[in-house]
Amino acid sequence: MPHSRRLQHALLNLGVVALLALVLYWAEQRAGEYQIRLLNNAAIFITLAISYNLINGICGQLHLGPNAFVTIGAYTSALLTLSPAEKELTFLITPLIWPLNQISTSFLVSLVAGGLMAVIFAFLTGFPVLRVRGDYLAIVTLGFGEVVRVLANNLQWLTNGPLGLKGLYPYTNLWWSWGVAVLALVVITGLVNSAYGRAMQAIREDETAARAIGIDPFRHLMLAFLVSAFFFGVAGGLLAHLITTISPTLFTFFLTFNLLIIIVIGGLGSNTGAVLGAVLFTYGSEVLRAVEEPITFWGLKLPGIPGMRMVIFSLALLLVIIFARQGLLGRREFSWDGCQRYLKRLTRGLV
Amino acid sequence: MDFATFLQQLINGLSLGSLYALIAIGYTMVYGILRLINFAHGDLLMVAAYTGLFGIGMFSLPWTVACALALGLTGVMGVLLERGAYRPLRRAPRISLLISAIAASFFLENLALVLLGGRPRAFPVPPLMAGAIKLDGLFIPRLSLWTPTITLVLLGVLFLIVYRTRVGIAMRAIARDLETTRLMGINVDRLIALTFLMGSVLAGAGGLLWAMRYPQVNPYLGIMPGLKAFIAAVLGGIGNLAGAVLGGLLLGVLEILIVAFFPAWAGYRDALAFGLLIVVLLFRPTGLLGEVLMEEKL
């Protein structure tokens, strides 16, 4: 790519970020609590979805354990921001172990720590997990989620058991959630477009062939596994300080399933698709809330059906994977060049 | 712990283990043929449990009729599942097939939640299986004796079909090489449906026995036994029928004995199976009795 065009793209990217900041500033000033909540959710889902897409879409390995890393990040971050006095009040049955009961850090430090803790766990589990492929990888990662839940339930001196942690300060605001989303987007798109990313895609297409040209699948998959775990952990910290109460059953396989819906509908392997899917999912599940509430339809009273949303979502996932496997975008990505070409075509049509 | 208690726990463990074995067979049969974890297999347990519950409790059918109905319906569900969620994807990438399986599983669970409600319901245990017998200081629930017996009979029939009939030969041929079997003029799709039917009927029996053992029926009933039975199948060597039985028994006995010997670890019981899975995959990925199946398709 010529130098001038790269500069142009960088400027355009900066422009988009500035525009986003402007929108967020406006939302913070004007939008209601509900809108802000949705914007936060959308940003966190974007972070989670592009990290998830890195493993499932780019590397082609069905990882079913993001909820485990989100849980680890959430607990780590929550344990760091709570003040010693609050911890003493929360841990009634079994006191929290030293030194965690003494320290209290800033939100930023706690988020980074949450991400790093998830990375450490990912590294340790990576050895058994990345030795296997396909269905085995899926079931081992799924099992990891279960193990984390069992540990969170039982290690009372660390997690306060089934009661969980309460009264976290709601640090997460639009700047934090969207800041992390933009960071994740920059890091992961950068990774996908690098030599590492191309190697990952080669592994997805044909692992034997990739091996034959000298790509080490273990190292590349581990890299993807660690990068995604970091952002899962950070997103966990954000979620903890958004919901302000966490417990072992908060982030279950259900979360993973939602992420799977997002990336499949957006298009497995496309970062743009993951972002689009996350936004659609956030707002779509709000729109679908209507089916769970009683509605009056032309004077006809229809009772709401609780739980109907998940039926619709799972059916949608089933239909998309059977009939439209490529999702909305397939593996296509947004690019400024593509935009330019599109605009040119459009204007040519007009003139 | 004295010998009597040990024996009692062992019987308990064998009973749980034979349940796992019953469910694991379905996983291993499908995996042997399609190389797919049928994630919705566990949810068939839930289907069977609810059918039995409504049959006995609501329509006051005799429990034998209700149970037969449950087995039949579960079998049909299994075939429908294959038709709807797996057959259209036979030539698709593996990741799509797995996602389809997970989506089907979630669909069944949430549909049950919407239609039947999330409140756990009590399963009416037939009088024949309720209660316990006292024998020489041992206290054995009747169900703990019935479960292995029923399992043994069902497995006997299954093994006869798989190893002594022409249909069984065709099934084993598909597990070896699907394409070649097709070239031999065998209707592969029909046989795959039959495999699902057999595995699902066994899962149905497992579901009924599970509901009698833990008489709380809810839409998520099948998830845990399903996952553990799959692990049992891997433990024994996936694709191998005898291996699934062995793995199931081993897992059941281990779970019960560990809790019996170390009561403090009871909370970690659900994690044990997954720990075991990781150990097996690290040191003996083919399982205890497995042939080298994994490398062919990877």
The model's confidence at residue B295, banded by pLDDT at 50, 70 and 90, is: very low
Domain residue limits at B110 = 3-297
pLDDT at A142 over 80: yes
Top-confidence range, A210-219, A303-312, B170-179, B288-297: A210-219
Q: Which helix or strand (DSSP H or E) is residue A296 part of?
A: strand A295-297
- A26 or A134, which is more confident: A26
Q: Do B110 and A305 touch (CB under 8 A)?
A: no
Rounded Cα–Cα distance for residues B192 and B198 (Å): 10
pLDDT at A345 over 90: no
For chain B, give the percent of residues with pLDDT over 90.
57
Q: What is the mean pLDDT of residues A229-255?
A: 95
Q: What is the ipTM of this complex?
A: 0.87
Q: What is the mean pLDDT of residues B153-174?
A: 93
pLDDT at B296 over 50: no
Taking contacts as CB-CB distances below 8 angstroms, the residues of chain B near A318 are: 84-85, 100, 103-104, 107
Kindly report the CATH class assigned to A6-350: mainly alpha
The model's confidence at residue A188, banded by pLDDT at 50, 70 and 90, is: very high
The model's confidence at residue A297, banded by pLDDT at 50, 70 and 90, is: low
Which residues of A sit within 8 Å Cβ distance of B? Answer: 56, 60-62, 64, 127-128, 131-136, 138-140, 142-144, 146-147, 150-151, 153-154, 207, 257, 260, 264, 268, 305-308, 310-311, 313-315, 317-318, 321-323, 325
Structure tokens at B39: 């994630």
- A94 or B251, which is more confident: B251
* Exposed / middle / buried, residue B190 (Cβ in 10 Å: 0-12, 13-18, 19+): exposed
Q: Select from B103, B227, B274 the Cβ nearest to the Cβ of A321.
A: B103
pLDDT at B264 over 60: yes
How high is the pLDDT of residue A346?
84
How high is the pLDDT of residue B298?
36
Q: What is the mean pLDDT of residues B3-31?
A: 91
- The total domain count for chain B is 1
Where exactly are the structural domains of chain A?
6-350
Helical packing angle, B269-283 and A107-129, nearest 10°: 50
How high is the pLDDT of residue B290?
72
- Locate all alpha helices (DSSP H) within chain A, ordered by sequence: 3-30, 33-53, 66-81, 84-90, 107-129, 134-154, 156-159, 174-192, 195-205, 207-212, 217-243, 253-266, 271-287, 308-323, 336-350
Q: What is the mean pLDDT of residues A34-40?
A: 93
CA–CA min distance A136, chain B (Å): 9
Backbone angles phi, psi at A219, to 5 degrees: -65, -40
pLDDT (tens digit per residue) in B93-115: 888 999 999 999 999 999 999 99
* Exposed / middle / buried, residue A27 (Cβ in 10 Å: 0-12, 13-18, 19+): middle
How high is the pLDDT of residue A293?
77
The model's confidence at residue B226, banded by pLDDT at 50, 70 and 90, is: very high
How high is the pLDDT of residue B61?
86
For chain B, give the percent of residues with pLDDT over 70.
97
Rounded Cα–Cα distance for residues A349 and B106 (Å): 47
Helical packing angle, A271-287 and A174-192, nearest 10°: 150
CA–CA min distance B263, chain A (Å): 13
Structure tokens at A350: 């007009």
Which residues of B sit within 8 Å Cβ distance of A? Answer: 31, 35-37, 84-85, 88-89, 92-96, 98-100, 102-104, 106-107, 110-111, 113-114, 118, 227, 230-231, 234, 267-268, 270-271, 273-275, 277-278, 281-282, 285, 294, 297-298
Q: How many CB atoms lie within 10 A of CB A133?
A: 19
Q: What is the mean pLDDT of residues B241-255?
A: 93
Q: Select from A128, A139, A143 the Cβ nearest to the Cβ of B37.
A: A139
Q: How many CB atoms lie within 10 A of CB B248?
A: 31
CB contact at 8 A, B250 and B235: yes
The closest alpha carbon to B80, from B180, B196, B188, belongs to B196
Taking contacts as CB-CB distances below 8 angstroms, the residues of chain A near B268 are: 150, 154
Residue A331 DSSP SS3: coil
How high is the pLDDT of residue B238?
84
The model's confidence at residue A259, banded by pLDDT at 50, 70 and 90, is: very high
pLDDT at B199 over 80: yes
The CATH number assigned to the domain holding B228 equals 1.10.3470
pLDDT at B285 over 80: no
pLDDT (tens digit per residue) in A263-294: 999 999 999 999 999 999 999 988 888 877 77
Q: What is the mean pLDDT of residues B259-271?
A: 85
CB contact at 8 A, B138 and B6: no
What does the DSSP 8-state code read for residue A161? G
Q: Which helix or strand (DSSP H or E) is residue A301 part of?
A: strand A300-302
Q: Do B270 and A308 touch (CB under 8 A)?
A: no
Q: Select from B104, B114, B231 the Cβ nearest to the Cβ of A318.
A: B104
How high is the pLDDT of residue B292?
52
For chain A, give the percent of residues with pLDDT over 90.
62
Buried b (16+ CB within 10 A) or exposed e, B144-157: bbbbbebbeebbee
Concatenated DSSP letters for chain B?
--HHHHHHHHHHHHHHHHHHHHHHHHHHHHHHHH----TTHHHHHHHHHHHHHIIIIIS---HHHHHHHHHHHHHHHHHHHIIIIIGGGTTS-HHHHHHHHHHHHHHHHHHHHHHH-SS-EE----TTTSSEEEETTEEEEHHHHHHHHHHHHHHHHHHHHHHHSHHHHHHHHHHH-HHHHHHTT--HHHHHHHHHHHHHHHHHHHHHHHHHHS-EE-TTTTHHHHHHHHHHHHHH-TT-HHHHHHHHHHHHHHHHHHHHH-GGGGGGHHHHHHHHHHHHHHH-TTTTT--S-HHHH-
pLDDT at B294 over 60: no
Q: What is the mean pLDDT of residues B41-45?
A: 94
How high is the pLDDT of residue A299?
66
Distance from the Cα of residue A80 to its chain's centroid = 21
How high is the pLDDT of residue A110?
96
Q: Do B294 and A147 touch (CB under 8 A)?
A: no
pLDDT at B80 over 60: yes
What does the DSSP 8-state code read for residue A307? T
The model's confidence at residue A217, banded by pLDDT at 50, 70 and 90, is: very high
Distance from the Cα of residue A344 to its chain's centroid = 35
Q: What is the mean pLDDT of chain A?
A: 90
Q: What is the mean pLDDT of chain B?
A: 89
- B270 or B149, which is more confident: B149
Q: What is the mean pLDDT of residues B64-72?
A: 94
